[in-house]
Chain A
Amino acid sequence: MRIETRRLLNRAFSSLGLISIGLMALVLVVILTPIIAKGSGAFVFRSTVEHRKLMFDHWNRGNPERVKQDEAKAAVARAPVYQMLSDFKAELESMPRAERSRYKKPLRAVETALGRLLGPNPGSRTPVLMRQQYGATRWDRTQAKLDNLLYSEEWDYSNPDALGVKVLRPRVEDFRTTKLEPLFGYVKANIKPMMRPRWTFYWQFLFDTSKDSHIFGGIGPEVLGTIYLTLGAMLFAVPMGVIAAIYLCEYSREGRVISFLRICISTLAGVPSIVFGLFGLAFFLNTIHVSNSKSVLAGSLTLALLILPTVIRSSEEAILAVPRAYKEAALSLGAGRWYTIMTVILPAALPGILTGTVISMGRAAGETAPIIFTAAVSVGRPLLPIEALSQPTPALPWNIYNLCTEHEAVDEIRHVQYGMVFTLVALVLLLNVFAIVMRARISKKLRG
Chain B
Amino acid sequence: MKKVLLSAAAIAAIALSASAEQKIVIDGSTTVGPIAKAFAEYFMAAHPDVNITVSESGSGNGAKSIMNGVCDIADMSRPMKDSEFKAAADKGIQPVAHVVALDGLPVLVHPQNPIGELTIEQIRDIYTGKITNWKELGGPNLGIVVITRDTNSGTYETFEGMVMNKEKITEKAEYVGSNGAIRQRVQSTPAAIGYAGLGFVDKTVKALKVNGVYPSAGTVRTGEYPISRPLFMYTNGYPKLGSPVYQFVTLYLTEDGQEMVDQIGFIPVTSY
Instruction: List residues of chain B with CB within 8 A of the CB of A325.
Output: none
Total of A-B residue pairs, C-beta within 8 Å: 145
Select the residue from B69, B70, B110, B141 with max chain A CB neighbours within 10 A. Answer: B70
**Is A380 a contact of B53 with CB atoms below 8 Å?**
yes
Residues of A within 8 A of B27 (CB): 294
**CB-based contact B112/A408 at 8 Å:** no
Complex: how many Å from CA A141 to CA B55? 28
- Complex contacts, A378 vs chain B, CB 8 Å: 33, 37, 54-56
Contact B184 A405 (CB under 8 A): yes
Chain A residue contacts of B20, Cβ below 8 A: 292, 390
CB distance from B93 to the nearest CB of A (A): 13
Residue in A closest to B48 when the chains form the complex, CB atoms: A381
Bound-state CA distance A72–B246 (Å) is 43
CB contacts under 8 Å to B, within A364-412, are: 372-373, 376-381, 383-384, 386-387, 389-394, 402, 405-408, 410-411
Q: Which of B171-213 contact A (CB under 8 A)?
A: 176-181, 183-184, 190, 199-200, 202-204, 206
CB pair B37–A160 under 8 Å, yes or no, is no
Per-residue CB proximity of B151-181 to A under 8 Å, as 1/0? 0000000000000000000000000111111
Nearest-neighbour CB distance to chain A for B22, whole angstroms, equals: 9
A271 within 8 A of partner (CB): no
Contact A376 B180 (CB under 8 A): no
A379 near B54: Cβ-Cβ < 8 Å: yes
**A155 CB contacts on chain B under 8 angstroms:** 111-112, 114, 206
Contact of A163 among B16, B68, B140 (CB under 8 A): B140
Q: Which of B80-88, B124-132, B220-228, B256-264 contacts A (4 or more CB under 8 A)?
A: B256-264
- Complex formed: what's the CA distance from A386 to B27 in Å? 22
User: For chain A residues 155-197, which have a beta carbon within 8 Å of chain B?
Assistant: 155, 157, 160-166
- Whether, in the assembled complex, B52 has its beta carbon less than 8 Å from a beta carbon of chain A, the answer is yes
Of all chain A residues, which has the CB nearest B30? A406
Min CB distance, B95 to chain A, in Å? 17
Contacts of A132 in B (CB 8 A): 263
A163 near B19 with CB under 8 A, answer no
Cβ B140 vs Cβ A406 within 8 A = no
Contact A153 B12 (CB under 8 A): no
Per-residue 0/1 for A208-220: is the Cβ within 8 Å of any B Cβ (1 yes, 0 no)?
0001110000000
In the complex, whether A127 has a CB less than 8 A from a CB of chain B is yes
* A128 & B263 in contact (Cβ 8 Å cutoff): yes
The stretch that binds A, out of B39-47, B96-104, B237-245, is B39-47
Which residues does chain A contribute within 8 Å of B25, judged by CB atoms?
293-294, 377, 391-392
From A128, A161, A383, name the one whose CB has the most chain B CB atoms within 10 angstroms: A128
Number of residues of chain B lying within 8 A (CB) of chain A:
60
Say whether B70 contacts A285, CB under 8 Å. Answer: yes
What string of 1s and 0s marks CB contacts (under 8 Å) between B137-148 and chain A?
Answer: 011111000000
Check if B57 is an interface residue, CB within 8 A of chain A: yes
Known contacts A163-B112, A378-B56; is-contact A386 B180 (Cβ 8 Å): no
Return the chain B residue nearest A155 by Cβ. Answer: B111
Residue of A130, A153, A380 near B51 (CB, 8 A) is: A380
Give the residues in chain A near B15, CB-CB below 8 Å: 386
B181 neighbours in A (Cβ, 8 Å): 405-406
Residue in chain B with minimal CB distance to A157: B114
Contact A390 B19, beta carbon cutoff 8 Å:
yes
List of B residues within 8 angstroms of A406 by Cβ: 30, 33, 56, 177-181
A405: B residues at CB distance < 8 A: 176-178, 180-181, 184
Min distance, Cβ A426 to any Cβ of chain B, angstroms = 26
For the complex, what is the distance from the CA of A379 to the CA of B110, rounded to whole Å? Answer: 30
- Chain A residues within 8 Å of B263, by CB: 127-129, 132
Residue with the highest number of chain B CB atoms closer than 10 Å, among A160, A164, A286, A372: A164
Bound-state Cα–Cα, A387 to B15, Å? 8
A390 touches B57 (CB 8 A): no
Given the contacts A160-B114, A293-B25, A410-B180, A377 and B55 also touching, CB distance less than 8 Å: yes
Cβ of B134 to closest chain A Cβ, rounded Å: 9
Query: Does B71 touch A at the CB level, under 8 Å?
Result: yes
- Write the nearest CB–CB distance from A42 to chain B, whole angstroms: 20
- Which residue of A160, A390, A405 has the most chain B CB atoms within 10 A of its CB atom? A405
**Chain A 266-291 interface mask (CB, 8 Å, partner B; 1/0):** 00000000000000000001100000
Contact assessment for A129 and B260 in the assembled complex, using a CB-CB cutoff below 8 Å: yes
* Separation of A389 and B9 alpha carbons in the complex (Å): 13
Residues of chain A having any CB pair with chain B under 8 Å: 127-130, 132, 153, 155, 157, 160-166, 211-213, 285-286, 292-294, 372-373, 376-381, 383-384, 386-387, 389-394, 402, 405-408, 410-411
A-B contact pairs, 7 of them (CB 8 A): A153-B111, A294-B70, A377-B55, A378-B56, A390-B19, A391-B51, A392-B25
B-side residues, CB < 8 A to A, are 12, 15-16, 19-20, 23, 25, 27, 30, 33-34, 37-38, 40-42, 44, 51-57, 68-72, 110-114, 138-142, 176-181, 183-184, 190, 199-200, 202-204, 206, 256, 259-260, 263-265
Given contacts A153-B111, A293-B23, 18 further A-B contacts (CB under 8 A): A129-B38, A160-B114, A163-B110, A163-B113, A213-B34, A213-B37, A213-B38, A377-B55, A378-B55, A379-B40, A380-B51, A380-B52, A386-B15, A386-B16, A390-B16, A406-B179, A408-B264, A408-B265
8 tightest A-B contacts by CB?
Answer: A380-B53, A157-B114, A293-B25, A377-B53, A163-B112, A406-B178, A213-B37, A377-B55
